[in-house]
Structure 1
Amino acid sequence: QPTSTASSAHDEETYPEIPRVSLEEAKAAFDTGTAVFVDVRGADVYAMSRIPGSLSIPLADLETRLTELDPNQWIITYCT
């Protein structure tokens, strides 16, 4: 399970129900197939730069495309 290692106190206060993982935990989970990275930026930005192997699901589409994700994997979203 992800541990709570929030990137900032503001994030933790704003979204306390969202677990945070360290970069090391995220990479290890991704490398073993336990996690998937989901880039929630627009497709144009994803095309310019992305984490290799990540999925592109723009934030505006995320709710309608959740069925594309494996519920048994950690879903790690990123936008920067």
Structure 2
Amino acid sequence: QPTSTASSAHDEETYPEIPRVSLEEAKAAFDTGTAVFVDVRGADVYALSRIPGSLSIPLADLETRLTELDPNQWIITYCT
């Protein structure tokens, strides 16, 4: 499945090519374990707060670390 990101009106205008998921969809995926959540903030911010079980892959490193992710898994990135 394609990588998704949590939705915001600003991001939808800026990055229309990136599929979005609603908060409700993300919560359901979290509750059922059907998605991997990737925190793309810096490691320092990740250490302060994060979604339990999420992976920390800072945005600057994402492209070079994609091999760490299962391409058959639903991946939801977030930065807030």
Coarse TM-score class (shorter-chain normalised): 0.7 to 0.9
Cα displacement string for residues 10-65 of structure 1 (whole angstroms, at most 9, x for unaligned residues): 42232111111111111212332321110011111111111100000011110010
Structure 1 or 2, whichever has the larger Rg, is 1
Q: Give TM-score scaled by structure 1 length.
A: 0.81
RMSD in angstroms over aligned alpha carbons?
A: 2.9
Unaligned ranges ≥5, structure 2 = none
Quick one: distance in 2 between partners of 1:4 and 1:60? 17
- Quickly say closer, same or farther: Cα 1:3–1:72, change in 2 above 3 A: closer
Percent of residue pairs identical: 99
Runs of 4+ with >3 A deviation: 1-10
Quick one: distance in 2 between partners of 1:58 and 1:3? 15
Q: Give TM-score scaled by structure 2 length.
A: 0.81
How many residues align structurally? Answer: 80
Report the structure, 1 or 2, having the larger strand content. Answer: 2
